[in-house]
Each structure stands twice: as C-alpha cells, then as structure tokens.
Structure 1
Amino acid sequence: MSGITYVRGDATAPSVKGVKIVAHVCNDIGGWGKGFVLAVSRRWPEPEAAYRAWHRDRASNDFALGAVQLVRVERYVRVANMIGQRGTRTGSKGVPVRYEAIDTALTALAGHAADLGASVHMPRIGCGLAGGKWSRIEPLVTERLVARNIPVTVYDHDA
C-alpha cells in the first residue's frame, strides 16, 4: 500500500476540506502551453503569470531544476509550480523528466504542505509530456510526502 489515494477526476478541483496544494511539474526553459498546465490556466491565471515572471527574472531568484514556487489561487488553494524537467523534447539525453529534480521539489513541497497543514493533489507528475515513469516517481511521492503524513491524492483524468 503506497498511502496515495488514486481517483478519477480533475486535479485542479480537489473536493476535500482544508488547505490544498495542487502540484505539477514545469520545465526549466519558461515554456507553458501543453499538458496539465492548460487545465491549471483554465482554472486560474496566477500560476502561469507567476511561473513566467519567475523564469524571466531567473538571474536574481531560485528558478532552477528542483525549485518550487507556491502560488495562492484561492483562500484554501495553492498551486505548486515544481521545476522537474529539462527542456520539453526527447533528445540525445533522453526524456525531459529529471527524477532528481522532482525528488528535490517534492522535499520542498513537503515542507510547504506541513507548514500549511495542507493536502497535496496532483496528476501523475512527470509522466505526461516529460516522459517519466510513474514506477520511478510514485516511490518519491511516498517517501517525501506520505512518509511525513501528508495526504496525497493522484488524479487520473477522464479522457
């Protein structure tokens, strides 16, 4: 038992009480326009605007693989922009996902969630356009979040 709750539905619409963090993986080149971010942007404009500003000003901030940006979008909802993929295309260095960066980001996310008393909601991060394998990411989610008693729900979207 992983301790992760799996449901069918929309990760941008968690229906539990309390503070919620919707977590997802972003690339490190400032691109926002395909995959789960489209669902995020349909619901809230703030995460995309914050990500683009974070990337634009990266010379003077912590924007890099493994970094997390928490964006408040509603009174009890935050979106975690986690930098966990190098670029956007599969090439000579393989798929864009960077498991070490996702691990680092999940560690930071756990701190934010613990501080807020929040539950975490996500799609199968790093497994869409980033090309990652859930069999590699699920243990990271379990180790970094579930082991700290942070409730995690993973959403499989109805296509």
Structure 2
Amino acid sequence: MVRYVKEGNIFTLSGVKCYAHGCNCVGAMGKGIALQFKMKYPQMYRLYKTKCADGTFTVGDVFEYVTGDEHIYNLGTQKSWKTKAELEAIRKSVDTMLKLATQDNVKSIAMPKIGAGLGGLNWCDVKAVIEDVALKYPDIELVVVENYKEKCRF
C-alpha cells in the first residue's frame, strides 16, 4: 500500500523508522535528500561510496543498511548525478527493497518522491511504477513524502 504525504520530512514522520531514497551509482551524495542521508548516517555513506567504487552497487540495485531498528534502503536509480534516473531501475530497486523488507518484517518505509527531483523524471510516471510494484506487497506501507518541508519551530 502507498500513502502520500503532501509535504513533510521523512525523518520526522510518526511511527516510521525505515527509510529509502534514490541514489546514483558513483558515490555522490552532495545534494537534496541524499545529503541528509549522508549527514545522518555517515557510516552508511562510507560503505555506499566503497560499493560504488568497487562496482558492487549499480543501477537497479539496493544497498540495505541496518542500524539498530532502522533499515535504510539506498536505491540505485541513476548511473551518476549527471544523468537522469531510470524508470526500470526504480521498478527493480523498489521491488528488491520490498522483498528485503518482507524478509526482515519491516511494515513501513518512508521515502521522498524518488527519481522526480534531481533524478529528472516525471513524477506521474514514477508514481505509477511505485504503485504497480507495491501492489505485490500489501503488508508493507510505503509513505511517500511528495514535497520536503521542515516543521516550523517556535
């Protein structure tokens, strides 16, 4: 099942401890949500960068990083930060992520609208792919935050 949140921050959603995001396969996490993942999980970033350098993380792959009760799914959605994301890579990586989540008894995963920000794809096309894949995994809720917005703090 897919639930959409118009705006928010995936890291502050109530009851969600597992996260996913689209990545390039050259080891760069310098902008957008990827930079937030890099800062929040520096050890994950180091491992991701190594996997990219040695060629074990490629388009369509998933690098799962587990820390405590959090699962982080790095989805290989584009070759480099200079290229567009690929719909087939999104299909393959989301499917693999949901298989892994099923094996690990993960019930909820928060993610941004992958592939449609810096990835350059049309969000309607990406959304159709995510919804199609998610139909095979009705026991896992994907919470997709469509627009990043930090809550105001007074």
Q: Identity, % of aligned pairs?
A: 24
1:4 aligns with 2:6: no
**Cα RMSD for the two superposed structures:** 1.9
SS at match of 1:5: strand
Aligned residues: 147
1:56 to 1:86, Cα distance in 2 relative to 1, 3 A: closer
Give the whole-Å Cα distance in 1 for the aligned partners of 2:54 and 2:2. 38
Deviation at 1:7, TM superposition (A): 4.7
Q: Provide, for residues 33-85 of structure 1, a one-character-per-residue CA deviation record: whole Å limited to 9, x for no partner.
A: 11111111232212211210111222xx3x21100000013x22111111111
Q: Provide, for residues 79-126 of structure 1, a one-character-per-residue CA deviation record: whole Å limited to 9, x for no partner.
A: 111111122225xxxxx1111111110110110111122111101111
Corresponding residue to 1:47 among 44, 48, 73 = 44
For structure 1, list consecutive stretches of 5 or more residues without a partner in the other structure.
Answer: 91-95
How does the TM-score come out when normalised to structure 2?
0.85
How does the TM-score come out when normalised to structure 1?
0.83
Corresponding residue to 1:102 among 80, 90, 99 = 90
Corresponding residue to 2:113 among 124, 130, 149 = 124
For structure 2, list consecutive stretches of 5 or more residues without a partner in the other structure.
Answer: none
Deviation at 1:13, TM superposition (A): 3.2
Structure 2 letter corresponding to 1:83: G
Equivalent residues in 2 for 1:73-88, closer than 5 Å: 73=67, 75-88=68-81
